[in-house]
Amino acid sequence: MTRKIVISLAVLCALGFGVLYANGLLDVHESRKTRDLTPPAPIKALVLEKELKQAPAVSFADIQGGRHALADFKGRYVLLNLWATWCAPCVAELPALATLKLRVPALKVLAVDVYLKDKPADIDAFLKSHKASALGTLTDADRSVSRSFGASSLPVTVLVDPQGRIMARAEGPAEWAAPEAIDYFKMLVNH
């Protein structure tokens, strides 16, 4: 009788831990506290959040007008970049973001144009002319994304973890394609 109780308790504990792990409430891997997640010098603008908070429920449009929610990418790390065609630092970092997207395919890199006057076809041509077409054309047609992330200046880049929480934020440009940055994001997505 005692053996059945012990086995039953062990099964219940295993199920409980499984539910906690599946919902992101239990981390059995190297934790954020023991692993140094400080971004390297080329992306020092990316500052880790002291407390992880759920990312806003936002969506943006692609070139065909299809809507995509940030929540659609839950389960993956997402680097969300807010930019505009008139923003010189934004334009300068677009090719680096495209390179990062190609070099670290497990990282979902989303570059969303937040300038209301830019038309999707014009954005698409703009990205092609700046060697950043790999990013795809995404727009914030109603400014809900930029408002939700409090983007008062550009560029703004937000790193979202697989649980949909804001992990880090950069206000201003960074060297996203620097070898150290590539290695950082590879380490991040592989742990």
The percent of residues in the chain predicted with pLDDT above 90, rounded, is 76
Report how far residue 77's alpha carbon sits from residue 120's, in angstroms, rounded to the nearest whole number.
Answer: 25
Residue with the bigger pLDDT between 121 and 23: it is 121
Q: Which two tokens stand for residue 172?
A: 């201003």
Helix (H, G, I), strand (E, B) or coil at 67: strand
Residue with the bigger pLDDT between 179 and 1: it is 179
Look-up: residue for tokens 């990418």?
73
Look-up: residue for tokens 């990316």?
46
Query: What is the per-residue pLDDT across 30-68, written as a single tens digit (0 to 9) for each?
Result: 444 446 899 999 999 999 999 999 999 999 999 999 999
Residue with the bigger pLDDT between 147 and 16: it is 147
Query: What is the per-residue pLDDT across 123-182, written as a single tens digit (0 to 9) for each?
Result: 999 999 999 999 999 999 889 999 999 999 999 999 999 999 999 999 999 999 999 999
Report how far residue 87's alpha carbon sits from residue 155's, in angstroms, rounded to the nearest whole number.
Answer: 8
Helix 179-189 × helix 88-103 angle, to 10°: 50
Which residues pair with residue 157 across a beta bridge?
Answer: 81, 170
Report how far residue 124's alpha carbon sits from residue 136's, in angstroms, rounded to the nearest whole number.
Answer: 7
Report DSSP letters for 119-165, one per residue.
-HHHHHHHHHHTT-GGG--EE-TTSHHHHHTT-SSS-EEEEE-TTSE
Is there a contact between 78 and 70 (Cβ–Cβ < 8 Å)?
yes
Query: Residue 50 phi/psi, 5° resolution?
Result: -70, -35
Is there a contact between 157 and 82 (Cβ–Cβ < 8 Å)?
yes
Is there a contact between 191 and 46 (Cβ–Cβ < 8 Å)?
no
Instruction: Give the per-residue pLDDT at 42.
Output: 97
pLDDT at 20 over 80: no
Report how far residue 86's alpha carbon sits from residue 140's, in angstroms, rounded to the nearest whole number.
Answer: 15
pTM of the model: 0.81
pLDDT at 109 over 80: yes
Residue with the bigger pLDDT between 107 and 142: it is 107
Pick the CATH number of 31-189 from 3.40.30.10, 1.10.286.10, 3.40.50.10680, 3.40.50.720: 3.40.30.10
Instruction: Give the per-residue pLDDT at 135.
Output: 97
Is there a contact between 181 and 109 (Cβ–Cβ < 8 Å)?
no
Instruction: Give the per-residue pLDDT at 33.
Output: 45
pLDDT at 18 over 90: no
Pairing of strands 46-54, 165-171: antiparallel
Average per-residue pLDDT in the chain?
A: 89
All structural domains of the chain with their residue ranges: 1-29, 31-189
Query: What is the per-residue pLDDT across 58-105, written as a single tens digit (0 to 9) for each?
Result: 999 999 999 999 999 999 999 999 999 999 999 999 999 999 999 999
Instruction: Give the per-residue pLDDT at 16.
Output: 58
